[in-house]
Amino acid sequence: MLMRALNLAQALIACPSITPKDAGAQDILAHALKEAGFEVDHLLFGDVPNLFARYGTGGPHLCYGGHTDVVPPGDESRWTAPPFAPTIRDGVLYGRGASDMKGSVAAFAAAAIDFVQRHPNFKGSISLLITGDEEGPAVDGTVKVLEWMGQHGHIPDVALVGEPTNPKALGDEIKIGRRGSLSGTLEVIGKQGHVAYPDIAINPCARLIRLLAALEDHVFDTGNAHFPSTNLEITTIDVGNPTDNIIPARASARFNIRFNDQWTFETLEAKLRDILNAVSNGYQLQLRRGAHCFITQPGPWTDLVSQAVYDITGRKPALTTGGGTSDARFFAGICPIVEFGPVNATIHQVDENIEVKVLEDVTRVFGRILERYFA
């Protein structure tokens, strides 16, 4: 099982599957799963390749969610070895996707293959939903496959997404939810003119500064038992002014809010307008909804995964909701969903890597989850 996980991880890393190109990664995975008796469907939505594989037809049904696409490697000259030439050095496997998340996909596939070989007639089903669109727009990936699964009788009872969730050591954290994301563009229209004649111009900058200060100073909430507080971050301020003697015609800024389960898109959008209207109504605001907030309340599924992690690592993982967005949000509302995977210290970085021991222990954790769930 452990050698299969390592060999499969290396084979997947060798595929330059930069979103949305697959470069053969899903074929490698499909071949390994088919040999073990999994039924495999290749699903193309738009330009995005996806894979669904299932062993068994009955319940209970556990689904693993993951992705084979990766972010670009950046300046390859800065890598100590080529990013798509998997290299083991001093017990560490280097390569793009090693920790995010080809290593995790390989670990679960190896654990699942081992499980069905030892328990060919177990009661239930194991499936893998693997997309090539997680690092991209996430429009033609997991969300479309889940729709297809619903149409073809593949809805799972529980789901496990193998994203790298541990900040320092394996066993630190299990994610039971994620914050939502809302982005906005705030614009103030003025009247261009010479700085020496402000009486015949209208400077939009001062008003924009006051509006931004009101947003920045507002305390949306103080968090709760499972979520940190909602935070708003201003990401850019622009006037497009090439000189210092012109009052600009307009000024704009962009911001992003990561919000907890005390808010919905609707209530948060209304609050933003209330804050701004208290300062001035002379603005234009465009809002773009990103990921929604979700949470799996602690219960039997979170307890089972936590115990499996403890069994292998000796650490009792914290149940957290921090970090960015992930495809786990698409499972929310369908079934209980948790996220657990490797250490995330090097994801998206030059020389991304995973310790071979960590890869082996992730495989063991996944194996223990299967044993406990189908006991």
Task: Tell me if 222 sits within 8 A of 154, measured CB to CB.
Answer: no
How many whole angstroms separate alpha carbon 265 and alpha carbon 181?
9
How many whole angstroms separate alpha carbon 326 and alpha carbon 133?
11
Residues in the chain: 375
Q: Convert 109-130 to b/e letters by CB count within 10 Å (16 or more is b).
A: bbbbbbbbeeeeebebbbbbbb
The amino acid occupying position 193 is: G
- Neighbouring CB atoms inside 10 A of 50's CB total 24
Which residues carry out catalysis? 69, 134
- SS3 track for the chain: CHHHHHHHHHHHHCCCCECCCCCCHHHHHHHHHHHCCCEEEEEEECCEEEEEEEECCCCCEEEEEEECCECCCCCHHHCCCCCCCCEEECCEEECCCCCCCHHHHHHHHHHHHHHHHHCCCCCCEEEEEEECCCCCCCCCCHHHHHHHHHHCCCCCCEEEECCCCECCCCCCEEECEECEEEEEEEEEECECEECCCHHHCECHHHHHHHHHHHHHHCCCCCCCCCCCCCEEEEEEEECCCCCCCEECCEEEEEEEEEECCCCCHHHHHHHHHHHHHCCCCCCEEEEEECCCCEECCCCHHHHHHHHHHHHHHCCCCEEECCCCCCCHHHHCCCCCEEECCCECCCCCCCCCEEEHHHHHHHHHHHHHHHHHHCC
* 116, two tokens: 């069905």
